Amino acid sequence: MTYTNVVIAGGGTLGSQIAYMSAYSGKNVTIWGRAEHSLESAKARVARWEKAVQAYFKSSDAQIADARNNLTYTTNLQEALKDADLVIEALPESIDVKKDFYEKFGQIADKKVVIASNSSTMLTSDLAKFVDRPEQFLNYHFANNIWQGNTAEIMPSAKTDPQLPATFVEFSHEIKMVPILINKEQPGYVLNSMLVPFLDSATDLWVNDIAQPQDIDKTWMIATGAPMGPFAIMDVVGMNTVYQINAAKKNPEAQKVAQKIKAMIDNNQIGVESGAGFYTYPNPEYKQADFLKG
C-alpha cells in the first residue's frame, strides 16, 4: 500500500467524497475543517455519500460501518497531521485560502508527509511556491460522484519528484479510481479542459436569452443520448464552484454568468446539495419520463 493515513483539508463537495471513498477503501482518514460548522456540513455530506456508495457498490451494512469507523473529523490541524502520510488539500478556489493553509501545513507537518491539491483551476506550479516541499507536491483532481465518475487526474510540476506520480497511480487504484497522468501542466487538466468550454457555451446561450436552461439540456440529451445536460451537470458541481470559475474570468460574458449564478446562490439555489438549482431535487425534471418528449 502507498498511503495509509490520509488527511483531507476541507470537507466540501469533493473533499468529503475523496475522504469517504478513501475511508471506504480501508484508509485511515481525517477530514480537517477550518470551523466546527464546516465539519457539521461535511458530516451531512458524508451521510449522503454513504447511501449513494452503498447503492452503487451494493455494499453490506458492515462495509458501510467500517468506512464510518475509518473517518474522523477535527478542526485541530496539528492533531490531524500527527500521523499523516498524505494530505489532499480540497479548500475553496482562493489563492489566499490555499496559501494560508500551506504555510500552516509547512510549520506543523513532518518532512515525510506528501501533499496534493485538488484545485480545479490552479496549476501545480502556481501553488508549489507556497509549499515548503515542492518535490513532494502535485495536483490530484477528481470528478464529482467519484465512486462512479472515478477518474483521478495526476498533474506534477517541473519541481515534483519524478517518482512521486507513480505513488498516486497506485493510491488511485487502491481507492477505486482510474489514474489519469497529465504529462505537462494544463489548466483544467483533461476533464475540465473539455467540460468548462462545454458549460460556457451553455451559459452563454442562457445569459443571452437564446434558450432556457431546460431546453438547452433537452437539446443536448436528445441529440447525443447523454443522461444529463450542462445545467444538470452544474447542479451536481454546485453553484459556488460555477460562480468562482466565472467570477475569476475577465470577459463580459463570464461576468454576466457570475452575476446570475450569484443571484441563485443568494436564493439558496446551490444545486443538488441544497435541493434546488436549475432543477429541484431529489426528483429533477430531466429524469422524468416525459422530459424529452417536448
Question: In the predicted model, is pLDDT for residue 231 greater than 70?
Answer: yes
* For residues 67-93, average pLDDT: 97
CA distances from 46 to 20, 75, 116, 167 (A): 7, 17, 21, 26
Closest to 200 (Cα-Cα) out of 232, 143, 245: 245
Sheet holding 151-155, edge to edge: 71-74, 28-32, 5-9, 86-89, 114-117, 137-142, 151-155, 178-181
Please state, in angstroms and rounded to a whole number, the distance separating the CA atoms of residues 263 and 118. 27
Give yes or no for residue 249 having a pLDDT over 90. Answer: no
Residue 169: its pLDDT value, please? 98
| Confidence (pLDDT) at 99 | 97
Q: What is the pLDDT of residue 239?
A: 95
Query: Given this model, what pLDDT does residue 248 score?
Result: 84
- pLDDT tens per residue across span 254-294: 999 999 999 999 999 999 999 999 999 999 999 998 999 87
Element (H, E) at 265: helix 252-266
Q: Which three cell numbers stand for residue 96?
A: 489566499
pLDDT tens digits for 5-62?
A: 999 999 999 999 999 999 999 999 999 999 999 999 999 999 999 999 999 999 999 9
Neighbouring C-alpha atoms within 13 Å toward the C-beta of 29:
28
What average pLDDT does the chain have?
96
pLDDT at residue 120, rounded to an integer: 87
pLDDT over 90, % of the chain: 93
The residues facing 47 across adjacent strands are: none
Beta strand pairing status for 137-142 and 151-155? antiparallel
Model confidence at 244, pLDDT cuts 50, 70, 90, reads: confident
pLDDT at 1: 67
pLDDT in tens, 141-181: 999 899 999 999 999 999 999 999 999 999 999 999 999 99
**Residue 121: is its pLDDT beyond 90?**
no
pLDDT, residue 265, reads 97
Please calculate the CA angle 144-285-259 and round it to the nearest 5 degrees. 65
CB 109 within 8 A of CB 131: no
